[in-house]
């Protein structure tokens, strides 16, 4: 096992080469939402895998191609599926960039380019880590499978089908990805899952047309009032959903997870000041991070009825619509929650129109597994500081494809600096973050080789 | 007193002349909202008054001019202020007219032209009625004051100031206007007032910006939920406002008015089918017309927060806005109701933004006054059928300028056919409605001369 300090020195001595490889990837536009340069970038990633001594090829999907690579002994006792994405967000608005988005530029020890943090500089860290270990004669005795997709920034629309039609190819003992920014303190983050999501629209109607509020106001039902009254039955004063069956199956955090929650740094006063609020929402008996990770939400993402534009309109609105959204926690499924909402709505307004807009299951991996502990420990060694360990992220990702469909424990880390400004102009990654990501992957691969998976 | 049958025959013998006068007015565009032909039409109305033997002149306002005329003995015991408006709605959409909006055309016993029903054919009825009685040697021994304004279709913005700077000129014993359509049964309508109105906007805020519903959902307050919860405290299950002070001063209908309400024809099943509803809204102990006329409403005219457009947006909305509207009944004032709403809102959300959008007081005249009874009786004689008597209309009009500022009892009748399609393409007035309006005014003027106002 080569220690982090040694690895860091080795990375430094090869850093110009590594930067050149990264810059090559960054110069290649790969905007999945706009269909620009995607095939070319898949080729380039495949070549990058090969240059690292990894057996690589292009695999097709119904959308962007996947760059796939494999390396390591066929009889390895441990296989790690490494995930990343080579596609990037559109660079617009171009006028807000201080240098060209697809012409990487170093200023103040940072590399500026679209996609450098999200995700080219992060997945490349794992490829280069393998290459480095191999050059040092320390290739880990595990099998590494690299799955670098090209549609993440466009909703990973074909990922689930791709993974499920390639189950044998992708079989592994664990899933690993580096994506997202580090904690504001500069500590890396390790997280083990994501919340799921259900989005639905409910439409109710008063009369069958908008009506003059003077000529008709009094005896004629108002769609907006009907909707407000319905919604007021759906939430408790402490911010829970007041819907039968909504919480069925919800798995509370374990003791271990609760302890992790307590250790996540949290600036309560700063958060309140930043957002201009005096009180947090939600149950008083739950901590901030417990609410973010282990409480399903029941949110109004949008509501609209009648007229709120310029001037005024004296109308009894017929139609009123609400977009409801729930972030789901382990144990819940989108369709089960949708059904609970539907049953509640129908109890009050039998003819309401209910439309499912989107759904994604939550998924998590236990932070107590040997692979989970090994990953946390690897990050601590690589960075010289304990990572912030998050049982779940509050947001949603297709993590369930790997945990539920492939049955893998899933480990996520973050290699990009906190202020990477991904999805925004002047996206950047510090030179140090790029270097440390390579080191971190190299430490992690070595630790994975030591995990007892029997 | 010349009876209705005789009057009708006399009108018929002069009808070609009357139509020519009406057509002259109709050919003159007078679109206040677009500033088209307003001055020219005021001149034409003034000339029409003079041609009827009425002493007439133009009076200026800060907007459209008023055509004003006076006739009758200076020592008359009774003065009637006759109101009308010469301005019309814009004719658009022009392609939906079967003939030119400002080229009156007779088809199927109807005159088609913009403004024929609303209001040129109606106020002209009163002018021609005086002319006819005068020619028959039966000019009533009352003073008639004609106030024909030119901004009614644009909100009567300068009416109140005009009336109050001309109080002496306009002093009278009663106010009379013919406007609006008859009852669907073909019976004319007499009404004695209108509801008032208050419109206000309430804006509440969760955090100081929209937030990602995954990253923040759970502990961060949602503006839309705050608004829904606020609104749910503001209405009772039976459709009343749950706001302290909201109903202060509300004057219930009198016994006489309740009796009138009972006599208004009402097709409950037909109304429900027409509007696609199964139940009416509002207190079960009040009749349909009692709700329309004597119940203040508390309505959501619009509500908006977050995103309900195409696709979906995962957001915790910061801002949420509701447009509240109340139709006010006698005894209420807009600012008193606004204050009650404000106090309620501040109790729950101290920093809500509350903006008054519009306000107009209600006003009504007792249907039991001698002038009121005389008007009802005149309509019955003129049409040979009892009018539908409505204590109030549910809609709003600047009636309070005459009732409250000038202190006059106010009587409104309707001369136009039910399907006049005013404000719409192919506005029309039947030849019969035009003729009967002249007859009705002539009967009414004679009856007014008999009213004992001492």
Residue ending a domain, among B316, B339, B360, is B360
Name residue B190's beta-bridge partners. Answer: B389, B413
Q: What residues of B are in contact with residue A280 (Cβ under 8 Å)?
A: 219-221
Instruction: Enumerate the residues of chain A whose CB falls inside 8 A of the CB of residue B250.
Output: none
Do A94 and A177 sit in the same domain of this protein? yes
pLDDT at A4 over 90: yes
Partner A contacted by B302 (CB < 8 A):
yes
> Which candidate, A137, A11, A130, places its Cα nearest to that of A70?
A130
Tokens of A157: 């629309």
Does residue A338 register a pLDDT over 80?
yes
A 169-198 residues with CB < 8 A to B = 195, 197
Contact call for A276 and B235, based on CB within 8 A: no
With beta carbons less than 8 A apart as the criterion, state whether B440 and B1 touch: no
* Measured CA distances, B368 to A387, B374, B391 (Å): 85, 10, 10
Complete DSSP assignment for B197-255? EEEEEEEEESSSS-EEHHHHTTTS--HHHHHHHHHHTSB-TTS-B--TTTTTTPPPPPH
* Phi and psi angles of residue A355, each rounded to the nearest 5 degrees, phi first: -125, 130
Give the orientation angle of helix B15-27 with respect to helix B121-135, to 10 degrees: 140
Do A96 and A206 belong to one domain?
no
pLDDT at A250: 97
pLDDT of residue B311: 84
Tens digit of each residue's pLDDT (9 = 90 or more) over A411-430:
999 999 999 999 999 999 99
Say whether residue A302 is in contact with chain B using an 8 A CB cutoff.
Answer: yes
ipTM of the complex: 0.91
Q: Which residue has the tokens 């010469």?
A: B86
Contact at CB, B231 and A235, closer than 8 angstroms: no
Task: Select from B360, B380, B404 the last residue of a domain.
Answer: B360
Are A140 and A204 in the same domain?
Answer: no
Enumerate the residues of chain A whose CB falls inside 8 A of the CB of residue B292: 215-219
For A312, which residue in chain B has the nearest alpha carbon? B357
Inter-chain contact B197–A314, Cβ cutoff 8 Å? yes
Same domain, B404 and B354: no
pLDDT > 80? residue A453 = no
B278 part of contact set with chain A, CB < 8 Å: no
Integer Cα distance of B367 and B373 in angstroms? 7
* Segment B392-424, tens digit of pLDDT: 999 998 899 999 999 999 999 999 999 999 999
Task: For residue B408, give every residue at least 6 positions away whose Cβ sits within 8 Å of its Cβ, in sequence order, or none.
Answer: B81, B172, B173, B174, B175, B402
User: pLDDT grade, residue A454 (50/70/90)?
Assistant: low
Enumerate residue ranges in chain B where pLDDT < 50: none
A407 Cβ neighbours under 8 A, 6+ residues apart: none
Q: Do A225 and B300 touch (CB under 8 A)?
A: yes
Q: Do A30 and A151 fall within a single domain?
A: yes
Residue numbers in B near A328 (CB within 8 A): none
Domain at B29, CATH number: 3.40.630.10
B212 inside 8 A of chain A by CB: yes
Q: Check A292 against B217: CB less than 8 A apart.
A: yes
Q: Does A394 touch chain B (CB under 8 A)?
A: yes
Q: Do A208 and B302 touch (CB under 8 A)?
A: no
Q: Do residue A219 and residue B280 have CB atoms under 8 angstroms apart? A: yes
| Contact yes or no for A222 and B281 at CB 8 A | yes
Residue A87's pLDDT band (boundaries 50, 70, 90)? very high
Question: Which chain B positions have a beta carbon within 8 Å of A229's beta carbon?
Answer: 232, 235
Are residues A352 and A384 both part of a single domain? no
**DSSP single-letter state for residue A254:** P
We report the CATH number of the domain holding residue A325 as: 3.30.70.360
Q: Which residue of A has its CA nearest to B316?
A: A301
Q: Tell me if chain A has a CB within 8 Å of the CB of B204.
A: no
Residues 338-377 of A with CB under 8 A from B: 357-358
Whether B285 is covered by a domain: the verdict is no
Using the Cβ of A280 and the Cβ atoms of chain B, whether some distance falls under 8 Å is answered with yes
Segment A146-202, tens digit of pLDDT: 999 999 998 899 999 999 999 999 999 999 999 999 999 999 999 999 999 999 999
The Cα–Cα gap between A30 and B239 comes to 57
Which two tokens mark A276? 């201009």
List the single residue in A217, A232, A394 with the smallest CB-CB distance to B232. Answer: A232
* A317 in contact with B, Cβ within 8 Å: yes
pLDDT at A311: 84
Residue A265 belongs to some domain of the structure: no
Query: Backbone dihedral region of A313: left (phi > 0), alpha (psi from -120 to 50 degrees) or beta?
Result: beta
Q: Give the integer Cα–Cα distance in Å for A389 and A195.
A: 16
Please give, rounded to a whole number of angstroms, the shortest distance from the CA of A227 to a CA of chain B: 9
Residue of B195, B214, B320 to mutate when probing chain A, most A C-beta within 10 A = B214
Taking the C-alpha atoms of residue B305 and residue A287, their distance in angstroms, rounded to an integer, is 27
Identify the pLDDT of residue B246.
98
Residue count of chain A: 454
Task: Tell me the residues of chain A between 31 and 60 that have a Cβ less than 8 Å away from chain B.
Answer: none
Q: Residue B116 falls within a domain, yes or no?
A: yes
| B300 closest CB neighbour out of A232, A300, A317 | A317
Distances (CA, A) of B438 to A1, A397, B208, B348: 108, 76, 63, 57
Residue of A nearest to B356 (CA): A312
* Rounded percentage of chain A residues whose pLDDT exceeds 90: 95
Nearest residue in B to A325, CA atom: B314
Q: Are residues A17 and A132 in the same domain?
A: yes
Asked if B100 and B224 sit in the same domain, the reply is no
Chain B residue with Cα closest to A203:
B308
A186 and A231 within one domain: no
CB proximity A327 to B under 8 Å: yes
Residue where one domain finishes, among candidates A320, A337, A360:
A360
Q: Provide the domain limits for residue B204.
A: 196-250+296-360
Report CB contact under 8 Å: A306, B308. Answer: no
B276–A contact, CB cutoff 8 A: yes
* C-beta separation of B37 from B28 below 8 A: yes
Domains in chain B: how many in total? 2
Q: Which of A215, A295, A308 sits opposite B302 (nearest CB)?
A: A308
Is residue B58 a part of any domain in this protein?
A: yes
Helix or strand or coil: residue B148?
A: strand
CB contact under 8 Å between B316 and A307, yes or no, is no
Is the domain of B352 the same as that of B389?
A: no
Q: How far is the C-alpha of B177 from the C-alpha of B84, rounded, in Å?
A: 6
Half-sphere exposure of A25 (CA within 13 A, CB side): 30
A197, β-bridge pairs: A327, A360
Same domain, A307 and A372: no
Q: Write the pLDDT tens digit of every residue in A104-148.
A: 999 999 999 999 999 999 999 999 999 999 999 999 999 999 999
Query: For residue A208, which residues of chain B lie inside 8 Å, CB to CB?
Result: 275-277
pLDDT, position B191: 97
The answer to the question of residue A151 being in a domain is yes
Query: What is the rounded average pLDDT for all residues in chain A?
Result: 96
Give φ, ψ of B263 to 5 degrees. Answer: -90, -5
Residue B339 resides in a domain: yes
pLDDT band at A452 (very low <50, low <70, confident <90, very high): confident
Whether residues B222 and A295 touch (CB distance < 8 A) is answered with: no
In a domain? residue B446:
yes
A162 and A119 housed in the same domain: yes
B316 touches chain A (CB under 8 A): yes
Q: Is the peptide bond before B93 cis (omega within 30 degrees of 0)?
A: yes
Q: What is the pLDDT of residues A242-288, one digit of tens each?
A: 999 999 999 999 999 999 999 999 999 999 999 999 999 999 999 99
Residue B10 lies in a domain: yes
Q: A302 contacts in B (CB within 8 Å)? A: 224, 305-308, 313, 315, 317
User: Mean pLDDT across the stretch A197-219?
Assistant: 95
């Amino acid at each position: 096992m080569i220690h982090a300090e040694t690895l860091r020195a080795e990375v430094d001595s090869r850093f110009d080469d590594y930067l050149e490889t990264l810059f090559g990837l960054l110069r290649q536009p790969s905007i999945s939402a706009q269909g620009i340069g995607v095939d070319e970038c898949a080729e380039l990633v495949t070549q990058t895998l090969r240059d690292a001594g990894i057996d690589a090829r292009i695999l097709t999907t119904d959308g962007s191609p996947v760059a796939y690579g494999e390396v390591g002994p066929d009889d390895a006792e441990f296989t790690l599926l490494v995930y990343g994405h080579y596609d990037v967000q559109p660079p617009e608005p171009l006028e807000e960039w201080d240098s060209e988005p697809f012409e990487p530029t170093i200023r103040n020890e940072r590399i500026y380019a679209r996609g450098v943090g999200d995700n080219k500089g992060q997945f490349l860290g794992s490829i280069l880590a393998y290459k480095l270990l191999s050059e040092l004669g320390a290739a880990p005795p595990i099998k590494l499978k690299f799955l670098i997709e090209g549609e993440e920034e466009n909703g990973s629309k074909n990922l689930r089908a791709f993974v499920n039609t390639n189950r044998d190819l992708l079989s592994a003992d664990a899933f690993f990805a580096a994506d997202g920014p580090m904690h504001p303190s500069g500590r890396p983050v390790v997280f083990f899952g994501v919340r799921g999501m259900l989005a639905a629209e409910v439409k109710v109607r008063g009369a069958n047309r908008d009506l003059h509020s003077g000529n008709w106001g009094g005896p004629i039902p108002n769609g907006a009032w009907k909707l407000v009254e319905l919604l007021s039955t759906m939430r408790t004063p402490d911010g829970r959903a007041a819907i039968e069956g909504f919480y069925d199956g919800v798995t509370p955090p374990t003791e271990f997870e609760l302890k992790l929650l307590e250790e996540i740094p949290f600036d309560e006063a700063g958060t309140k000041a930043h957002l201009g609020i005096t009180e947090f929402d939600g149950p008083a008996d739950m901590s901030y991070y417990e609410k973010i990770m282990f409480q399903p939400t029941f949110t109004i993402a949008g509501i609209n009825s009648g007229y709120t534009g310029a001037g005024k309109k004296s109308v009894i609105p017929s139609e009123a619509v609400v977009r409801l959204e729930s972030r789901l926690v382990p144990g819940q499924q989108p369709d089960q929650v949708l059904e609970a909402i539907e049953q509640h709505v129908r109890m009050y307004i039998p003819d309401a129109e209910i439309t499912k807009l989107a759904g994604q299951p939550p998924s998590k991996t236990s932070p107590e597994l040997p692979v989970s502990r090994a990953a946390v420990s690897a990050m601590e060694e690589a960075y010289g500081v304990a990572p912030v360990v998050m049982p779940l992220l509050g947001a949603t990702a297709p993590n369930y494809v790997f945990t539920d469909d492939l049955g893998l424990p899933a480990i996520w880390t973050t290699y990009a600096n906190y202020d990477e400004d991904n999805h925004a102009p002047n996206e950047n990654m510090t030179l140090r973050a790029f270097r440390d990501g390579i080191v971190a992957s190299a430490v992690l691969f070595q630790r994975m080789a030591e995990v007892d998976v029997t």
